[in-house]
Chains A and B, each alone.
Chain A
């Protein structure tokens, strides 16, 4: 992990993520105004001392909305990743040890999930099951399960065939305990990479869904939803879309850069 600090892009990414994490965790507390409060006398204003990023179509403070939206958007992405982790890691590990039938069935199920068109299925699932953020998160989480399955399966495969495992078995250690310990040590770093990358992917997908108005429960702000509404008022607020777009892009990039840094050994040129 210390290798991370040596790469400049990784350091920068960590700073960005720390910032976003801070916003997400303490957002509702530090937001200067109530993100839902409408000031009808100040519609579509530009930045001012009172409203750092101006106001939107309903007179609401944009900065406060983005900060509050951070919590919602980040939490949503984390929830999907958690679901993917839960559904994918254990079956991936077990697929190596539970026999041919389970392996075959789980592999085909995972193939089936990959075959589904991601965004279309996510929208369909969200919309048909009630069109809330919860449904959206579950849909996205389900669809990223293959990534986690694959990673843990690959790690387990490499462990199951390793000579030191056979040696340990010969020495009498119970198969499961040995494999579990070694597999876990192998899986963890790979999982970390995948988790970081998938969080980035989920954030981008959440942004796309809320941009399209799927899973959005007004008046709650989300990064994607804010971007969509800024685009509607582009003429009166030409720089409006910059802030939400920047938040989305920076966070996704930071997560990807972090995953890159964790994956490549130190000294490897990017």
Chain B
């Protein structure tokens, strides 16, 4: 039948063309990396409202300083810096000839402009971190001084993160709203395309001060796919690098992909809001200290690759206080007893656990089951996906009794404590609650130079006080688990973020 053969033609054509699949990376000379991760809550560091954004925003922006492999502050936009003897002012010397991607100069005036905006802009999320900053003065085109109200030796670390990511003042003046959709910085890459909630494409920025160490011409950032198709995505070339759920490590390795497990500063917790009943009752808060079994969380979320922690960073981090680990332990009977004493006998307490699918999907169901064991009934509320949905509900509205959350860490431990326990801390679900004791302890740490023998003890004490006064319970620390195609070499995975200097593609 002549007609029967007709339909073979389109089929053959499609299969032939499709079968010569994704070979085009070799045909073009540009080195491209496809990174499946998150999209930031905002491309403007001043309005970015979650710590995780450090990974994505640092594609377009460079900060005044940078952390090296050991976690010490090293030069970035600033060549050197020094404090005055009383610790109340710090002067940064910028490199010469720095430029933003819009061509304007990155000089001391631009730095001043950025910090002024961070302090004054009505929707700035840098305000509490810049609380100590009184004023910024420009000594010369490359010398800028930060004047502090109190001595604060954390500044070099603070400005290694989003707080020091200098954005172009002319871009901010021309169209502030556009800056949150289209970044203008002096970072390793320059954005060329952005579709909200979908992808962002970057090309190498030749004016980046460290451009010699960037060996990638084009970086395509997309949202992470469904975990069930993640490995297939990397195998088929749709994705080059992504975070991998712990249970998929074996599968990825069995398929010949590179899996990197690197230390991180991430810690997961059950955030509790003591401004909402039943947690307005301190006995209930105390009961919950013994309600969760971190070992089960460890198994479920990290498949044994992580570690238990009761503070907002892994226990081998220098700021971690070992004494905190022995404060509480899993004791369901004690928890049930405390609840009964608080007026909630078994079966009478009902809660809603708020969770987001983005990070800790099944953790909420585990918490639900563990709570059931101590006689607490709970239902799960899943916050929808989106680059800023969870942040709007949890960090701004603080509209939850108890939630699964976690911190990705910060460049400065004081900044980390401020973010998780501080009165304006975005991860402090009980905000603005923060004991005076804690605030004073934190101030004491700030005033202590890093080389001072009192620094570490004061830091540990501040951590301990912070953990004790916060109702939230930290449970496990998760390392970076990264899957990548084998041709990606020299991955630059630092504890506080993923970076791209030094990464090569064979």
* Interface residue ranges, A against B (CB under 8 Å): 36-38, 40, 43-44, 57-58, 127, 131, 213, 217-219, 228, 231-236
Whether B247 lies near A57 (C-beta < 8 A) is yes
Whole-angstrom distance between the Cβ of B96 and the nearest chain A Cβ: 52
Whether A57 lies near B384 (C-beta < 8 A) is no
- The total of chain B residues at the interface (CB under 8 A) is 24
Closest to B357 in A: A213
Interface of A is mostly: loop
Whether A235 lies near B250 (C-beta < 8 A) is yes
A-B interface, 4 closest residue pairs, ranked by CB to CB distance from nearest = A235-B251, A231-B228, A38-B369, A232-B228
| A residues near B245, Cβ cutoff 8 Å | 232
| A residues near B34, Cβ cutoff 8 Å | none
Segment 194-242 of B: residues with Cβ below 8 Å from A: 226-228, 231
Instruction: Select one of B227, B296, B357 contacting A40, CB under 8 A.
Output: B296
CA distance A217 to B355 in the complex (A): 12
Instruction: Select one of A57, A127, A236 contacting B300, CB under 8 A.
Output: A57
| B20-28, B327-335, B358-366 - interface stretch | B358-366
Does B382 reach chain A (CB closer than 8 Å)?
Answer: yes
Does B368 reach chain A (CB closer than 8 Å)?
Answer: yes
Instruction: Select one of B226, B251, B380 contacting A219, CB under 8 A.
Output: B380
Which has the most chain A C-beta neighbours within 10 Å: B226, B254, B299, B369? B369
| A residues near B227, Cβ cutoff 8 Å | 232
Whole-angstrom distance between the Cβ of A116 and the nearest chain B Cβ: 22
| A residues near B251, Cβ cutoff 8 Å | 234-236
CA distance A44 to B368 in the complex (A): 19
Whether B362 lies near A57 (C-beta < 8 A) is yes
* In the complex, per-residue mask of B285-323: 1 if CB is within 8 Å of any chain A CB, else 0: 000000000001001100000000000000000000000
CA distance A38 to B368 in the complex (A): 10
| A residues near B362, Cβ cutoff 8 Å | 57-58
Closest to B380 in A: A218
CA distance A235 to B251 in the complex (A): 6
Does B248 reach chain A (CB closer than 8 Å)?
Answer: yes
Known: A57-B362, A127-B384, A234-B228. A219 touches B247 (CB 8 A): no
Whether B299 lies near A36 (C-beta < 8 A) is no
CA distance A44 to B48 in the complex (A): 39
Whole-angstrom distance between the Cβ of B90 and the nearest chain A Cβ: 48
CA distance A183 to B248 in the complex (A): 60
Closest to A40 in B: B296
Segment 244-278 of B: residues with Cβ below 8 Å from A: 245, 247-248, 250-251, 254
- Some 7 contacts from A to B, beta carbons below 8 A apart, are A36-B369, A44-B247, A57-B247, A127-B384, A218-B368, A232-B227, A233-B247
Does B490 reach chain A (CB closer than 8 Å)?
Answer: no
| B residues near A236, Cβ cutoff 8 Å | 247, 250-251
| B residues near A38, Cβ cutoff 8 Å | 365-366, 369
Does B454 reach chain A (CB closer than 8 Å)?
Answer: no
Instruction: Select one of B231, B300, B357, B380 contacting A58, CB under 8 A.
Output: B300
| A residues near B300, Cβ cutoff 8 Å | 40, 43, 57-58
Closest to B295 in A: A40
| A residues near B365, Cβ cutoff 8 Å | 38, 58, 218-219
Does B379 reach chain A (CB closer than 8 Å)?
Answer: yes
